[in-house]
Structure 1
């Protein structure tokens, strides 16, 4: 049976909405059909099972949350110092905030991966690939710090996004400017990323990782 790629993408986007709103237990083919506004049975014609659908959501969301090549080109025209790392992290924060549903769906995928060994294996591979891409980008751009710097940024920004997109009031009144994620992001970068830049030659840049 022929498959329509535009309809497949629309179904996966609808599935991401359901996953973010209802969690993995609410992610049924019927719910996806309803969210997409298509006849009952459409999603089951496109995806063999829930594991296939979950993997498609992973792939689709990394595409949606990927940095704009034009933005990367503009960023890379700036000096290769800590301020560029901050600008890059601000772009990531902006992308995740604009597509809050997509990022929440990624968080739900993490939780579901703890229950599904096959999803855990594929999702671990997916996230690790993005992290390694970010490390490669950092090295080839000649940005200050090393792979450990990028790993620490990954862990810290992941925590910031988790709080900001789920429980933004947790730190209010405890940490100064807790309700201003950009201010927290600047502190994270200034704490983790050293000043200056390493003596690393620039190579051909392939772009950043998608998201923590």
Structure 2
């Protein structure tokens, strides 16, 4: 059984317990500051075989996606709320601040957000939902004359990830986050 087909159907009770244990150990490792997510080490700490870990998570990125699924769904919800905001530009500002905050709090979140390919179909589906909500938001902001033409949802995602990298590289994260986000927001405006 492949990882994707296994997730598509209900897991056996022991497989579900093993998967939950692996996720728990991985979360504990992240909480202790170890973001390497070495699958062999996680298997050892979880008390399961390496094959068990790889059956559920074929690589580190797949494990990261599973760990961040709930947080990513929260981002999708925030994007949908922003798209429904009466003031599209205010919704866009709020969404970008929320997403940047999440990416700065968790480098793994930024890695999943910026990844061009996904290990799990659920992550791809959430990214598609995110892009639909952001596209709707951008269309409304464009119609109001608040942002330039030619900017699409994936452009906003890439730009935001660039800001996350720039802020993480600097000394004063809080100050730089606000400055860089303001530069992005200003850059999204129509040319004068």
State the TM bucket, normalised to the shorter chain: 0.5 to 0.7
Whose helix proportion is higher, 1 or 2?
2
SS in 2 for 1:143: helix
Q: Does the aligned pair in 1 maintain the 2:88–2:141 contact within 8 Å?
A: yes
**2:64 maps to which residue?**
57
The residue that corresponds to 2:5 in the other structure is none
Deviation of residue 84 (structure 1)?
Answer: 1.5
Confirm whether residue 192 of structure 1 aligns to residue 192 of structure 2. Answer: no
1:143 equivalent in alignment to 2:140: yes
SS where residue 140 of structure 2 aligns?
coil
Q: Give 1:63-78 correspondences, 5 Å limit.
A: 63-67=70-74, 75=82, 78=85
Match of 2:108 in 1: 102
How many residue pairs end up in the alignment? 171
Task: For 1:125 and 1:147, locate their aligned partners in 2 and report how far apart those are by CA, in whole Å.
Answer: 28
Q: Which runs of 4+ in 1 moved over 6 A?
A: 124-128
Query: Partner of 1:116 in structure 2?
Result: none
CA, structure 1 residues 6+83, in 2 after alignment: closer, same or farther (shift >3 Å)? farther
Cα distance between partner residues in 2 of 1:2 and 1:62 = 21
Over aligned residues, Cα RMSD in angstroms? Answer: 4.3
Q: What stretches of structure 2 of length at least 5 have no aligned partner? A: 1-11, 143-148
TM-score (norm 2): 0.60
Query: Which deviates more, 13-22 or 184-193?
Result: 13-22
* Structure 2 equivalent of residue 3 of structure 1: 14
Q: String of CA shifts for 1:12-52, please: whole Å, max 9, x gaps.
A: 354367588364xx613234543xxx33x356435427626
Partner of 2:157: 154
Which of 176, 181, 206 is the equivalent residue of 2:177?
181
**Structure 1 pair 183–66 and aligned structure 2 pair: CA distance change class (3 A):** farther
Aligned-partner Cα distance in 2 for 1:86–1:14: 36
Per-residue CA deviations over 1:156-186 (Å, capped at 9, x if unaligned) read 1111112333x223xx7xxxx9843023212
CA contact (8 A) 1:33 1:43 kept: yes
**1:102-139 CA distances to partner (integer Å, 9 max, x unpaired)?**
326648x95xxxxxxxxx85449777655543332134
Alpha carbons 2:97, 2:181 under 8 Å: kept = yes
Q: Larger relative CO (CA 8 A, sep 6+): 1 or 2?
A: 1
How far does the alpha carbon of each residue in 1:44-65 deviate from its partner, in whole angstroms, 9 at most, with x for none? 4354276266424324323333
- How far is 1:85 from its partner? 0.5
**1:21 and 2:17 equivalent?**
no
Task: Output the CA distance in 2 between the equivalents of 1:12 and 1:30.
Answer: 13
